[in-house]
């Protein structure tokens, strides 16, 4: 078959347009807005960007800082929350979600997880703050057990949250392992418990349903705001970059440890200075900040 120059040009253009298009890795945050950016969607977007990942977000509430360690949240109206989820038609490779602020939000979020392909999903309940105060409705977290966990890749809890949800004490390594086994019955393929204490060491434990991986470090003196959320947000970003889950957790742990070595005073805290790793996360992460190109995400669903 002989083609004239015009037909050859059209065929060449068609062939180029038909090739699979690449895009930057993308991650989603579903959380509150914290005016200090110590947690919530603004902090998540900072971590995503630091890892070279495009960030998207859906607000579940507006936070007001009562102290460096305490935040009060006002939920976004449920119909606005539903609309934001419905209109999120962008490709997402991984998502970080927290406990919705009311049961209507929970229903809308569960429906979105059933309907949309958000890649690998991390659930960080954010139930208890660092002073041991209940930060979200425990009933919402228990309801999330039935509605959200079947769609998750990783469940992230601090040791106090694990103790609350399993109705047990989680002071040491053996108790953390037992809590992981109980939480595995909820349906999450992987469980990460952070903030365990063994003497003067901090211990984080990952459970994959059959075995455990442990990370330990010396406990740091001082009051830190944000290391838990920044850890889970960084893991989410690395999952969006297609790292294996164990590698994503290990790299995130290494980077957050470096970030905690470069704290900065928390704003408006007066004499009570709160080191915050968010402000130095770019210095802590040894990555080219430019987005990487990846192929479109393949939905990662669990039965």
Question: Mean pLDDT over residues 159-170, rounded?
Answer: 81
* Residue 113 in this model has a pLDDT that exceeds 50: yes
pLDDT digits (tens, 9 = 90+) for 114-139: 888 899 999 998 877 655 566 566 66
Token pair belonging to 13: 């253009």
Identify the band that residue 148 occupies on the pLDDT scale cut at 50, 70 and 90.
confident
Distance CA(206)–CA(50), nearest Å, equals: 24
- Compare 24 and 69 and report the one with higher pLDDT: 24
Q: Does the pLDDT at position 227 exceed 90?
A: no
pLDDT at 197 over 80: no
Domains of the chain, residue spans: 25-65+79-287
pLDDT at 143 over 70: yes
Asked whether residue 246 carries a pLDDT value surpassing 50, the answer given is: yes
Q: Alpha-carbon distance 112 to 100, whole Å?
A: 13
User: 124 or 301: whose pLDDT is higher?
Assistant: 124
Global pTM?
0.80
30-79, pLDDT tens digit by residue? 999 887 667 789 889 988 888 889 999 999 998 877 766 677 788 899 99
Q: For residue 170, which of 143, 194, 141, 154 has the smallest C-alpha distance? A: 194
Handedness of CA 275, 276, 279, 285 (dihedral sign): positive
Structure tokens at 174: 């053996």
Q: How does pLDDT run across 249-283, given as a tens digit for each residue?
A: 999 988 887 777 766 665 554 323 333 334 444 45
| Domain 25-65+79-287: homologous superfamily in CATH | Ribokinase (3.40.1190.20)
Per-chain mean pLDDT for the chain: 77
């Amino acid at each position: 078959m002989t083609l004239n120059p015009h037909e050859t040009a059209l065929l060449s253009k068609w062939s180029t347009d038909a090739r699979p298009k690449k895009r930057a890795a993308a991650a989603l945050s579903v959380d509150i807005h914290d005016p200090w950016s110590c947690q919530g969607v603004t902090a998540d977007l900072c971590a995503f960007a630091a890892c070279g990942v495009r960030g998207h977000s859906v607000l579940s509430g507006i936070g007001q800082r009562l102290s460096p360690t305490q935040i009060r949240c006002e939920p976004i109206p449920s119909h606005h929350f539903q609309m934001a989820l419905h209109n999120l038609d962008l490709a997402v490779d991984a998502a970080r979600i927290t406990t919705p602020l009311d049961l209507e939000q929970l229903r809308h979020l569960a429906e979105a997880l059933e309907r949309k392909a958000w890649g690998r999903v991390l659930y960080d309940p954010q139930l208890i703050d660092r002073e041991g105060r209940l930060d979200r409705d425990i009933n919402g977290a228990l309801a999330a057990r039935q509605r959200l966990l079947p769609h998750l890749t990783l469940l992230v809890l601090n040791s106090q949250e694990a103790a609350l949800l399993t109705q047990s004490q989680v002071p040491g390594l053996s108790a953390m392992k037992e809590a992981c086994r109980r939480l595995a019955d909820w349906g999450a393929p992987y469980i990460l418990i952070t903030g365990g204490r063994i003497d003067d060491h901090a211990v984080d434990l990952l459970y994959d349903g059959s075995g455990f991986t442990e990370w330990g470090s010396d406990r740091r003196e001082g009051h830190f705001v944000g290391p838990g959320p920044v850890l889970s947000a960084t893991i989410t970003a690395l999952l969006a970059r297609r790292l294996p889950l164990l590698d994503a957790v290990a790299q995130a742990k290494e980077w957050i440890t470096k970030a905690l070595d470069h704290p900065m005073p928390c704003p408006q805290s007066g004499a009570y200075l709160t080191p915050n790793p968010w402000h130095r996360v770019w210095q802590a992460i040894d990555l080219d900040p430019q987005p990487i190109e990846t192929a479109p995400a393949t939905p990662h669903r669990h039965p």
